[in-house]
Structure 1
């Protein structure tokens, strides 16, 4: 049974990755040079996300540096954190862009498909019994492998991810918040993750909060800053003058 469970988890993660790769992310890019630049940044983002996914687990589950950690080889095959992957992937990409002279705006199509991919991956969490919620016997409770009724934390996140993907798709279709959809997603997921952590069975060892909650707060802050920096009035001074004139 253990093999089947882990195979189910791996299958869902793989399916999420396939959905991401199958989506025409570069359809809005006009030239092969732009697509090459985009793929380079995506590769750098992926590396940052992989490091962040492990670093978050190191802090959130192993409670490093509050507690010493010595089993470094085990960390390589242990779990991964979506919160850490999003945060570090975003920071890595934003730091790399000026160094590489990358000038393309954020890809809204990527922002639309990302939560769908993550939501599919959370089905794997449900199958594997990881990312568990706190003990709970109310409506919707799910029994873990030990027979304990718990909050269905992976289900909560699946619902959020698919619902937010639908919202982002509608915004994309109607041309709203152009080049700012990923910033909006960072804010939305950060708020959701901070709140949902109170229902998850994670150690609240960092000033009364989990490491994942602190990372969620960082996502909200970075998303809000990016949303502001990418506002049309700020990127186009002429538009800002027109807005001021219209308000008089």
Structure 2
């Protein structure tokens, strides 16, 4: 089946990209899943605290996605005619995640809530990211989420004349595999609160660091892009967190 990129749908007589529609569907379903998991686990978070944390995460993610997205190509800031439009249309999930986490931590300090809240967000995040990446894939080369040209067996035509790495599909595959691995280890082992979220973030940013070597990028320093430098910072930070908590990790019937 030949896909015509970018994929659009007709709404009220207008042709609209399917990507933003899928992003909002992903966010909605993720929030519903989070509410279900929160109720099932009987979290001590009040509705007001939970809403505050979600808002903090969304604001941080919105700002971070655009800051890191804009800094992917710093020189372009001075070349474009409308800097605000360039900033507003520059996005990356790496910045969204990094600053979303910062937004959560700042919000928790403001509302004086000290317990970890990340574990409940792992599967909602994975769900939202998978649905969002489907939208990225269906946009093809008309958005900066495609791979470099390749002769690899998985190479695909994404809207131009080249076979390219379908990096969004690679990411979807990674997220699905991680979800199963995360479920398996959570059944076999006991972790301190917040560990599963830390484990997810560490693995995702490690995956993205290497994935971006097969994406078009502008190197900032040491042949690394802004996104990769952000990934390295997050990898280092979460390696330290996990190392500190290593003695609290157990197999169900045996200390790890």
Q: Fold match, TM over 0.5?
A: yes
Q: CA deviation at 1:14?
A: 2.1
Please say if 1:170 is aligned against 2:184: yes
1:90-131 residue CA offsets vs partner (Å, 9 max, x unmatched): 122223323431122224221122122101110101100131
In the TM superposition, 1:111-126 aligns within 5 A as 111-126=122-137
**Counterpart for residue 148 of structure 1:** 162
Q: CA deviation at 1:141?
A: 0.3
Q: CA deviation at 1:146?
A: 1.8
1:189-227 residue CA offsets vs partner (Å, 9 max, x unmatched): 111011111111122233311111011111212222332
- Answer whether contact 1:57 1:81 (CA < 8 A) is retained: yes
Structure 1 Cα separation of the partners of residues 154 and 37 of structure 2? 36
TM-score between both structures, scaled by the size of structure 2? 0.80
CA 1:210/1:30 → structure 2, altered by over 3 Å: closer, same or farther? closer
CA 1:173/1:113 → structure 2, altered by over 3 Å: closer, same or farther? farther
Task: Note the residue ranges of structure 2 that are not aligned, 5 or more in a row.
Answer: 10-15, 250-254
Q: CA deviation at 1:164?
A: 1.2
Moved over 4 A (4+): 229-234
* Range 175-184 or range 142-151, more displaced: 175-184
- Answer whether contact 1:52 1:89 (CA < 8 A) is retained: yes
CA 1:90/1:150 → structure 2, altered by over 3 Å: closer, same or farther? same
- Answer whether contact 2:67 2:87 (CA < 8 A) is retained: no
1:32-66 residue CA offsets vs partner (Å, 9 max, x unmatched): x5332122122111101110000111011xx2268
- Answer whether contact 1:116 1:162 (CA < 8 A) is retained: no
Q: How many residue pairs were aligned?
A: 234
Please say if 1:225 is aligned against 2:240: yes
**Counterpart for residue 211 of structure 2:** 196
SS at structure 2 position matched to 1:145: coil
**Counterpart for residue 221 of structure 2:** 206
Structure 2 Cα separation of the partners of residues 157 and 3 of structure 1? 19
Q: CA deviation at 1:182?
A: 1.1
Of the candidates 197, 214, 230, which is equivalent to residue 182 of structure 1?
197
CA 1:30/1:16 → structure 2, altered by over 3 Å: closer, same or farther? closer
Please say if 1:215 is aligned against 2:230: yes
CA 1:126/1:191 → structure 2, altered by over 3 Å: closer, same or farther? same
**Counterpart for residue 18 of structure 1:** 28
* Range 47-56 or range 163-172, more displaced: 163-172
* Range 177-186 or range 6-15, more displaced: 6-15
Please say if 1:56 is aligned against 2:60: no
Of the candidates 96, 103, 110, which is equivalent to residue 85 of structure 1?
96
Structure 1 Cα separation of the partners of residues 165 and 135 of structure 2? 16
1:158-197 residue CA offsets vs partner (Å, 9 max, x unmatched): 1111211222233344563342111111110111011111
Please say if 1:159 is aligned against 2:173: yes
Task: Note the residue ranges of structure 1 that are not aligned, 5 or more in a row.
Answer: 235-245
**Counterpart for residue 41 of structure 1:** 53
Please say if 1:106 is aligned against 2:117: yes
Instruction: Give the CA RMSD over aligned residues.
Output: 2.8
Q: Which has the higher strand share?
A: 2
